[in-house]
Structures are given as C-alpha cells and as structure tokens.
Structure 1
C-alpha cells in the first residue's frame, strides 16, 4: 500500500518535471487550517532542475537505479533545492528492496525545515508516517500522523485506524480506544478495522463485557461475516451467559456459519450446558457420520457421554461399545454394562460387565455389585448372590452388598431356590 501511494505521488510530481527545466515550481495549497496563508512560491535552481528532469526520464524508462544515482550526485546549494531532491530521492528509494530505512531518513531530511511547498510537505509527512509504521517504528509513526493532521487540519478514519494499529503493536492497549472511536466516527461507510482494534484492545485488557458490546455491533454491521457471530458467542460464554451464547451460535449454525470442528463442538457443549443434551448428541452423531469428526475411540466415547447426559441409555451404551471396539478399555465395558442395566437390558448388561472383568478393570468389586443387580433383575439369583459376596469384600460396598444378599435370599426362597 505504501508503494502504491508513493507511486501516485511520483506520478503527480512527474507531471511538473517539464516546468522544472524552466526553473518554475507550482504551489498547490492543501491546507485547510483557519487563517492559513499559502507558502511563498520558490524556484528551483536551473542546474538542479535539469538533473531532476534527467532523473525522472530515467524513472520513466524503468531505470530506477540510474534515477537514484543522478539524484544522489546532485550537489544542491539552496535549502529548497536540497529538500526537493531529498523528497524525490526518498520516494524512489521506497521502491527498491531493503532501502526503506534510507528512504525514511531521506524523506525526513526533506521536511526537517519547512521549505517545500505545502502539498509536498503534507505528502511527505504522511508518507513518513506510513513508512515508519511499516518499519515497526510505531511511536514515530504516530508522531508523523499527528504532524500531518496538525499541518493540514484534516482528520480521516484511515489515519486514526493506523494510529490505533501502532498503539496495538506497542501493546499500549488502553490508548487504542480513543483513535479507534475517532476512526469509527469519521467513517462514511462501515469498515471493520477500527472495530476489530477495539475488540482486541478490550480482550487484552480483559474487559470482556466491552469486547462483547463491540462484537455485537460487528454482527449488526456485517451480518454475513461468520467470524463476528462466533466471536460474540464466545464472549457470552466467557461471561457465563450461556443462554445468549447458545442463541447466538445456534443462529450462526442455522445460517451455515459453523463449519469448523471446534465451532460445532462449542455448540454441542452449549446444548449440554443449557439442559438440551439430546440436541447436542444428535448434532454430534450427524457430524460423526458425515466425517467432520473422526470415528476414533475418543470421539465415540465423547458421543456416548453426551447421550448418557441426555439419559438416552441405549444409544450411550451403543457408542461405548463402539469405543471399546476401537480400544478395549475396561471402563468402556463397565459403562456400557451400567447403561444397559438402566435400560433394563439385563442380558446385554451382564455380557458387557463380564468383559470389563476379563479386561482387568481396576475396581472389580464395583463391577460385581452391578453384575449382582443385573443378574437379580434377570432372575439369575444364584449368580446374583455370588456377585453380591464378591462385592461385599469392598468396605465401601459391604453394607449395601449384605443388604442385597439378604434380599436375594428371600427372593430365591420364594421361587423355591435354595442358596
């Protein structure tokens, strides 16, 4: 962008090259300050004027190195001549690789003393600001932008946005808000850059409520830009306003804005947080089947937990079984068995729980306790009693296990079974 701006200035200057050869220099006052008096027209020396013309001819022939050489060889005697040479030399150096630092020093030399005509002086001030920003001389950049505004009595959104960017780069986040607000006030049409500066500033300062307010404005101004919807939902979550977070992200989902795995996972979490885990589970299943989520052990177990939270016990058990097929962890079999017990599938529960024991579960007595219940409800009283005795060896289960043993004996006796 700097090189494009600089090329435009050079092109305008080239239009005056012909009059330099006759030692004339046009003054184009851009200044709007109250009481402004245009600078006195100055004439460039004939010798310098001829060499400047030669430099522009070389530039027109795409021979910038030759143009730079000609300008560097000029030995100007008058301050105005030297400032004019420095201005155009600095502009040409910008277009050369690794010459930006030299270009900036040369441009600054052209405005150190106010001898250029007002338009050129103003243009160089702005160019120095942009080049300083590019060279990460952020404090200098701000100073040059302010000098340009003071000299021209002009303000515009782009200038204040760049000042805000400079403060951001210096990590002076509290100072970003004022220029960003001024940039927004001067906008003729909505642009996102100054708003983004404010969001970033508030985030860095951990002022999440303020950041949310700006993000909501971005949603209104740029409703087709998905990132603002997602950002707004995330800020609501950070503020623990899960109701509005879900409303925002579900609206974004309906518009097709949630396409990343992380965004879908966030929506699934919000459904669970808002007591709608079944919707989260259905969403999870959809994207697992469509391939957004890899069908691996972790994803299958996570989907199982989501169904469990929704009290969809058979579906939860089904996905724990699929997880176990990928990685036969004893815990998966145990959870499958417990869920099938809740779903009153006692035969399936017993089979899964036995697999947990075979796989070397860390807490076998707890599995025995569940097996006791599954066998009891399946009316396998002998097996139920055996598992009750096994679970009674665990001090944390002993009291309940013994109570069950008594209950199992009674039930078995009523059925004519002697334990």
Structure 2
C-alpha cells in the first residue's frame, strides 16, 4: 500500500467511524483511546471537508489542501480535525514534512480528536519526526501513543530503538530492540541488526558476535550476514572462528568484493596457513577480482615467502618491483635469489635495487651484491662492493668481516684485487 492510499484510508475510516487494524494490546485495562467520545465536525466545516475528500480521491492533492486551508474553524474540535487532515495530506507530499509536523502538532495539542484519530496522529508525528531526524521528539510521541492506546507495535519499537541508537543511547537501544523482537510474529532482522550495532559501538564485540550468530541462524541465505559475523569474530580477536565463517562463505560462493577476498586471505595468514592464503590471493588476482598492483603483488610475495615457497616469492617480488621500481622489492628478490644460489640473477636484482626508488640503505644492497660476486668467483667486483658497503653505518660491521674474508680468498686463489 502506498503512502497516498494509507493516508486516504486513515482519513476515510475516521469520517466513517471505522478503526484501523489494532496493534497488540499491552493490557486488558481500559485505555483513554476507548473513553474518547465520537464527535463530528460542524455542518459548515463538514461540507468543506467532504469537498476536500472528493478532490483527494481524484488525485488533486493541492486542490484538496487549498479547500482545507480556506476553512476557518471556530470550535476546538473542528480546528483539531482540520489541522489533522492538512497535516496528513502534507505528510504524503515529498519535501513537506516540516509543514505536516506543524499542523499535526496543532491537532494533538488541542487534544479533542476521537480516540483512533488522536492515536493515529500521535503515531504519525513519531514517524515524521524520525524521518526528519528529530529523534527526541519522535520518542516523545511514540511514548504518548503507547500510553494513550495501551498498544504495542513491532515497528514502533524498532523505530524507537533506531532513535535511541542515533542518540548514542545504546543500553536503551537494546531494550527497545528486545521489545521489537518479543512482539514480532515473523523474524525481522532489523532489531537484531540494531542490537549488534549497539554492542559494536559499545565495543562489546563478543556480544555483537552472539547477535551476528543469531542473524545468520535466522537468515542464512543472505551472504552479507556471514561476512558480518566473520568481522565480529575478527574484532573480538577470535581469528579461528572468523576464518571458519569466511571459509564457509567462500565455499558457498558468497564472497563478491575485493575486500572480502582479501579478508579471507588475511585470515588464513593470521591462522598460520600462509600457503592457502597465497593460493586465494593468486586466484583472485588471476580472475581479476582484485587489481594487480604493487600492494597486492607484494602481499602475495610476502605470503609465499612465509609459506617457504621461495621461487613463487621471488617471482612476485620481481613483479612488484618492476611495476613500482621500488628498491625494497628488488632487495627482497635479490636476498631470496641468494638463498636459492641463483647468484647471477641476484646480481641483476641488487643492481636494480641500487637504481630504484625509496632506497634506505645502499650499504645493505652492496653487501648482497658483494656476496653474489663472491660466490661467482668475481672477487675484484666483490671487493669493490664490500668497500662501498663499509661506508654505510648500517652495514659497516658486516662489511669489515667480509672484506678480510674476500681478501683471504682472493689471495688463496691468486687473484689480484
């Protein structure tokens, strides 16, 4: 049912003396809504009101409003009734909430409307104030609606919980969310989401995770809830449960975004399963789910390094280095090439590190270069590189030891330095 139909139905029911479907009663006691006498507008006002109804039914909302605004009611009941009608029609017009609120407040403050009309006006004031982010006013009118009608409603409790959340009153958010849950006939994820958010904002991550578990149990087909649950576990530093949840989501095909795949890879690494983390990263890079850039390539290289898949690490450090011309990646590649005794390639990577960007210690790279030359029997070049390394404070101590070692080896091999 659209807004226009809802407003019209409420107004017609009011005129005909009918009632809207009543929310669940809070108690069997007699409430003020039941003690209000049914009243009708004066004949003069009634003619104008009837004309306004006819225009509204023909979708001539502005004309209906013009007809109502021309009325100059004298009695309090007539004033309240016309103000309510004007406010209700403005409530159905986009961008006129402020005007609607003004007229509806007049109707409520006069306090002469019949039971259902007064109750519906209070609730509409609550709804409009929520939409206008006047949360304290919304809560006031919802409280008045419940007190007047002795009824409760899931949507009202949910909106009150939302208002309390926006006001950062998280304990009250939980209270009203629980009332929404208790009163609902079918599970609605709204109050559960508000509870989880309230616990999250209160930094009670374990409690937030418990609510996230409940959401997954009630709404297992929504992929976002699985990701959300994993995030709550992660915030609570329960990385095993977080990984388990993300792995289920992955196997069910629920992962879609780059950040979700990165999160899964990160969790494998945090749980000391680097090889699986690297495989996930490699897959999403190959499939184009994540852009192949310096960051993603260096992360993959580092993960393969942790997994002791040295050749893979060498390859991806090389890709990251070539893409960025970053000396750090060339240096890491050179170091791993030395570990693999691929000395010629190590020399090339070390030289590129010296020529690249962001180099912090030329001496450390010169040490790698010196060792590569040395193991290739290029003692003169090794000596030259180690002399350069000895001039860098970060590498001078290591360089001194290698300097004498290179000299001794060259002398033994009969090589003039």
Short-chain TM bin = 0.7 to 0.9
Structure-2 residue corresponding to 1:255: 252
Q: Deviations over 1:231-269 (max 9, x none)?
A: 222222222222222222222222222221112122222
Structure-2 residue corresponding to 1:210: 207
Structure-1 residue corresponding to 2:8: 7
**Are positions 1:230 and 2:232 aligned together?**
no
Equivalent residue for 2:129, pick from 132, 147, 162: 132
Of 312-321 and 113-122, the range deviating more from structure 2: 113-122
Distance 1:277 1:71, change over 3 A: same
Alignment of 1:14-413 (within 5 A): 16=16, 33-36=28-31, 38-359=35-356, 362-380=360-378, 383-394=381-392, 397-404=395-402, 407=405
Give distance in 2, aligned partners of 1:284 and 1:205: 34
Q: Deviations over 1:56-91 (max 9, x none)?
A: 122222222232233233343443333333322222
Contact 1:307–1:313 under 8 Å retained in 2: yes
Distance 1:332 1:218, change over 3 A: same
Q: Deviations over 1:325-353 (max 9, x none)?
A: 22333333222111111122222222322
- The structural deviation recorded for 1:198 is 1.6
Q: Deviations over 1:260-305 (max 9, x none)?
A: 1112122222222221112111211111122222223333233222
Q: Deviations over 1:85-113 (max 9, x none)?
A: 33222222323454332322322333334
Structure 2 residues not aligned, in runs of 5+: none
Of 228-237 and 395-404, the range deviating more from structure 2: 395-404
TM-score scaled by length of structure 1: 0.86
Give distance in 1, aligned partners of 2:65 and 2:404: 103
TM-score scaled by length of structure 2: 0.86
SS of aligned partner of 1:176: helix
- The structural deviation recorded for 1:222 is 1.5
- The structural deviation recorded for 1:388 is 4.3
SS of aligned partner of 2:124: helix
Q: Deviations over 1:304-330 (max 9, x none)?
A: 222222222211111222223223333
- The structural deviation recorded for 1:162 is 0.5
Structure-2 residue corresponding to 1:21: none
- The structural deviation recorded for 1:416 is 7.1
Structure 1 residues not aligned, in runs of 5+: 17-24
Give distance in 2, aligned partners of 1:250 and 1:49: 67
Q: Deviations over 1:102-134 (max 9, x none)?
A: 322322333334433222222222112112222
Distance 1:268 1:47, change over 3 A: same
Contact 2:13–2:19 under 8 Å retained in 1: no
Give distance in 2, aligned partners of 1:43 and 1:395: 96
- The structural deviation recorded for 1:8 is 2.9
Contact 1:126–1:145 under 8 Å retained in 2: yes
RMSD: 3.0
